[in-house]
A and B are shown apart, each in its own frame.
Chain A
């Protein structure tokens, strides 16, 4: 009787241990700054690009994507955003212009992914200043991927770059201009769109790199517009009066996002959607 009982309780303890250990991996955390994610929450940029590649956009077809940003600690709003975006017809992917996390913690990035992976379409991100805080830079690279990357979808090349100069103590190397110039020099795509978190007119953009960056964009005949987050509100304009259009995204907390439609050489339409 007692042997049976102890075997039973041993099994119960093992089962409980397994449930705790496997059922909620997050429970075992060695530091809030532990940079890792479970296997299905690693290299999300590469995984989302692979998913996007499965539904290629034919040449001359209209491009249509959702532009949003600054999801940081707005978890209640993410759920509603996903529901709203999933109801929009013809959306090919979603862009999030940085500040996925608020405190630079891997757990925060995983919380946002837990919601955004419910989207019917893939989503792509660029790193924001809050994603750099603490061990965030490592976490972002582990969970999402490279800080600078590009991809071509249909006729458009998207250049995603880290412009969070203040997080590097304005070291004169962010954004990485040799990399940006190389990407802009690529003439294989009909159009270019450059996406980053901090806009160049912002005081968090490295002033030593500002002129090089804006000059490079001005010189690119394929550039449709530059897209940013950071300011938490929608904005469109030509702050440098040089013909280059800058579009800023709503933060998730604003409960609005943009549907961006691009066709022709550089024609586009922005539609604001409330949720």
Chain B
């Protein structure tokens, strides 16, 4: 009697697992870890293009982006913005027929470097100031990101994900941390884009 019960439970387990396992294998053959990114706004240029690689069991996405800030937005001439960015995806559930996937919460960090004569790497390197005259680099910004994403992959097709993220940078953060009157929304910037792999 006891063994029949065990068998029944095993059958139930197999029935439940059976459709899930092959479907997963068919709909999502192992993908190359490389992806391309199109990014809009968020402090890295009007538009930025780049790509990266999925590592650490699909949890980390380091990438490189090259952004463009046109004259209309810089006031002087078009500026290039180079970005090194890493996104951490702690939770990536799938829905329904499992062609849809999501990352309800993503965390990230980035460094940007803005080209242009008006920006200095360090105050001393500009040749105009004593070391420490300005403690920060006006060319390099460090940023923190909080985002969300939704992706879709038709069977056999490219896996495409749309994402949006809120970010802040070191200078805005210093401003907020030293002033109670600055509210969180005042130091945030919205960006978003698409990733294809």
Which A residues lie at the B interface, using CB under 8 A?
A: 20, 24, 26-36, 73-76, 78-79, 102-105, 107-108, 111, 133-135, 137-139, 141-142, 166-167, 169
CA distance A37 to B189 in the complex (A): 15
Q: Write out the residue numbers on chain A whose beta carbons fall within 8 Å of the beta carbon of B136.
A: 103
**Residues in A neighbouring B74, C-beta threshold 8 A:** 31, 33-35, 135, 138
Q: Which of B20-28, B101-109, B170-178 contacts A (4 or more CB under 8 A)?
A: B170-178
Taking a contact as CB atoms under 8 Å apart, the answer to whether B181 and A134 are in contact is no
What interface size band does chain B fall in?
A: 35 or more
Are A103 and B171 also in contact (CB < 8 A) when A33-B74, A75-B182, A167-B128 are? yes
Q: Which residue of B lies closest to A20 (CB)?
A: B190
Q: Which residues of B contact A (CB under 8 A)?
A: 41-46, 67, 69, 73-76, 79, 81, 114, 116, 118-119, 127-129, 134, 136, 138, 141, 169, 171-172, 174-175, 178-182, 185-186, 188-190
Question: Out of A20, A76, A103, which one reaches B138, CB within 8 Å?
Answer: A103
Find B188's partner among A27, A31, A104 (CB 8 Å cutoff): A27
- In the complex, which of the residues A32, A35, A166 contacts B172, with contact meaning CB atoms closer than 8 Å? A32
- Cβ-defined contact, B81 with A135, below 8 A: no
Closest CB of chain B to A19's CB: distance in Å? 12
Contact across chains for B189 and A29 when beta carbons are under 8 A apart: yes
Interchain CA distance A133-B79 in the complex, whole Å: 16
Partner of A36, one of B67, B73, B172: B73
Q: Is the interface of B mostly helix, strand, loop or mixed?
A: loop
> Which residues of A have CB within 8 Å of B134?
133
Identity of the chain A residue whose Cβ is nearest the Cβ of B133 in the assembled complex: A166
Residues of A within 8 A of B185 (CB): 24, 27
Chain A residues near B129: list those with CB within 8 A: 166
Contacts of A76 in B (CB 8 A): 179-181
Across the interface, A134 reaches (CB within 8 A) one of B43, B44, B81, B138, namely B138
User: Interface SS of chain A: helix, strand, loop or mixed?
Assistant: loop
A26/B175 contact (C-beta < 8 A), A31-B114, A32-B141 known: no
Query: Which of A27, A107, A134, A141 lies in contact with B190, CB distance below 8 A?
Result: A27
Once bound together, how far apart are the Cα atoms of A40 and B136, in whole Å? 30
Tell whether, in the assembled complex, residue B186 and residue A111 are in contact, meaning their CB atoms are under 8 Å apart: yes
B76 touches A30 (CB 8 A): no
| Among B79, B114, B118, B182: residue with most chain A CB under 10 A | B118
- Is the beta-carbon distance between A166 and B128 smaller than 8 angstroms? yes
With A73-B175, A75-B182 in contact, is A134–B118 under 8 Å at CB? yes
Shortest CB-to-CB span from A265 to chain B, Å, is 41
Whole-angstrom CA separation of A27 from B191 in the bound complex: 9
B69 near A30 with CB under 8 A, answer: yes
Question: Which residue on chain A has the smallest CB distance to residue B168?
Answer: A32
Task: Please tell me if the beta carbons of A139 and B114 are within 8 angstroms of each other in the complex.
Answer: no
Task: Say yes or no: B73 contacts A34, CB within 8 Å.
Answer: yes
Given known A27-B188, A73-B179, A105-B171, contact A134–B69 (CB-CB < 8 A): no
Per a CB cutoff under 8 Å, which of B45, B141, B174 touches A30?
A: B45
A203 to nearest B CB, angstroms?
A: 9
Query: Could you give 23 example pairs across A and B, Cβ below 8 Å?
Result: A20-B190, A24-B185, A27-B188, A27-B190, A28-B41, A29-B189, A31-B73, A32-B141, A32-B172, A33-B69, A33-B79, A33-B114, A34-B73, A34-B74, A36-B73, A74-B179, A75-B179, A75-B181, A103-B138, A134-B119, A135-B119, A137-B118, A142-B75
